[in-house]
Amino acid sequence: MPDSMKIIIDTDPGQDDAVAILLAFASPEIEVLGITVVAGNVPLSLTEKNARKICELAGRPQARVFAGASHPLVRQLVTAEDVHGKTGLNGPDLPEPKMPLQKQHAADFIVETLMREASGTVTLCPLGPLTNIAMALAREPKIARRIKQIVLMGGGFFEGGNVTPAAEFNIYVDPHAADIVLKAGIPVVMIPLDCTHQALTTATRVAAFRKLGTGPGIAVAEMLEFFERFDEKKYGTDGGPLHDPCVIAYLLKPELFSGRHINVSVEIASDLTMGMTVADWWGVTKRPKNVTYIRDVDHEAFYRLLVERIGTL
């Protein structure tokens, strides 16, 4: 069996973050070195607790969760309780976590891990605002060369934004951090709304999770039922987009995704378009290609993978 993929998940759970974490834990090809947590969907005190709840739901209380930034680098924190509920994880009734929060700051854990592990072996999987990653790069710029790749959920171009007409939530919350990360010379795979809007949590798909009959299966169904209500109303679709698990699915089965290697630049000046990810899809500028920009996913196969793997927990 080939070596497992070593990853750090940087996250702001969030129901879709939770499903991504469960998928990673359910996948023997992946070794989760740690979970770093950032403020985003809800404040840090809740996202760190939610991350620990999910580790315990997955039966992984030994996993290590590190709290990081409580606010973006420059702007005020914007949260998304309207989508995710007051706790960020509304839906299932999960017990208060017993496992401890690690003492080390998330950015220090990221730096220490990348400097310790062999260069080019660790993938970062950001599922929220990029504040912790930018902080880690500021603390130790040498990590940029040691990161295998960053596979992140964020951005959107053809579909427009979901928090403003121009911007997707994760990038909008900390556009300055996103700008730093995209300019750091690290190989980046960006999974934007253009892709995740194809991965809808239809009633049939939610029922398939419930039918697993396990604690994690039922909790996923309850999370998705809560989470999709906001988006169904907004988009008029059967179900809402399941964003963050696409990142882990990309690691497991990249052949389900397609995109193009292009330049993506982040707007950090204009109030009107703050946080927009300007994707040079047609190569009309000479800006350097810094991102593999994903546009499509085989969503049937994506959900088959999710249900199959969550079923093993």
Which residues are part of the catalytic machinery? 243
Instruction: Determine which residue in the list 27, 50, 162, 265 makes contact with ligand BDR, applying CB under 6 A.
Output: 162
Pick from ligand BDR, Ca ion, none: which does 294 bind, CB < 5 to 8 A by kind?
A: none
Dist. CA 84–CA 89, nearest whole Å: 6
Give Cβ neighbours of residue 100 (< 8 Å, ≥ 6 apart). none
Residue 74 CB, nearest distance to Ca ion (Å)?
Answer: 20
- The entry of Ca ion, ligand BDR, none that residue 80 binds, CB within 5 to 8 Å by partner kind: ligand BDR
Q: Under the criterion CB under 6 A, does residue 123 sit at the interface with ligand BDR?
A: no
Q: Whose CA is closest to 48, among 60, 35, 33, 31?
A: 35
The least distance separating ligand BDR from the CB of residue 85, rounded to whole angstroms, comes to 11
Instruction: Report the partner that residue 150 touches, choosing among ligand BDR, Ca ion, none (CB closer than 5 to 8 A by kind).
Output: none
Q: How far is the CB of 254 from ligand BDR (least distance, A)?
A: 20
Q: How many residues touch Ca ion (CB under 5 A)?
A: 6
Q: Give the separation between CA 2 and CA 77, rounded to whole angstroms.
A: 41
Asked if 34 is part of the footprint of ligand BDR (rule: CB under 6 A), the reply reads no
Note whether 14 binds Ca ion by CB under 5 A: yes
CB of 84 to Ca ion, least distance (A): 9
Asked if 10 interacts with ligand BDR (CB under 6 A), we say no
Closest approach of ligand BDR to the CB of residue 84, in Å = 6
- Cβ atoms of 41 and 83 within 8 Å: the answer is yes
Question: Could you say whether residue 41 binds ligand BDR (CB under 6 A)?
Answer: yes
Residue facing ligand BDR at closest CB distance: 169
Number of residues that bind ligand BDR (CB under 6 A): 15
Q: Shortest Cβ distance from residue 153 to ligand BDR (Å)?
A: 5
Partner from Ca ion, ligand BDR, none binding residue 58, C-beta < 5-8 Å depending on class: none
Going by C-alpha positions, the residue among 104, 116, 246, 229 that lies closest to residue 170 is 246
> Three-state SS across the chain?
CCCCEEEEEEECCCHHHHHHHHHHHCCCCEEEEEEEECCCCCCHHHHHHHHHHHHHHCCCCCCCEEECCCCCCCCCCCCCHHHHCCCCCCCCCCCCCCCCCCCCCHHHHHHHHHHHCCCCCEEEEECCCCHHHHHHHHHCCCHHHHEEEEEEECCCCCCCCCCCCCCCHHHHHCHHHHHHHHCCCCCEEEECHHHHCCCECCHHHHHHHHHCCCHHHHHHHHHHHHHHHHHHHHHCCCCCECCCHHHHHHHHCHHHEEEEEECEEECCCCCCCCCCEEECCCCCCCCCCCEEEEEEECHHHHHHHHHHHHCCC
Q: Draw the binding track, 225-244, toward Ca ion (x: CB under 5 A; -: no contact).
A: -------------------x
Nearer CB in complex with Ca ion: 15/113? 15
Asked whether position 127 contacts ligand BDR by CB under 6 A, the answer is yes
Q: Report the site for ligand BDR in 163-202 (rule: CB under 6 A).
A: 168-170
Is 168 or 179 the residue whose CB approaches ligand BDR more closely?
168
Report the residue number, 132 or 170, with the smaller CB distance to ligand BDR. Answer: 170
**Interaction site with Ca ion (CB under 5 A):** 12, 14, 17, 127-128, 244
**Interaction site with ligand BDR (CB under 6 A):** 14, 16-17, 41, 80, 83, 127-128, 153, 162, 168-170, 243-244
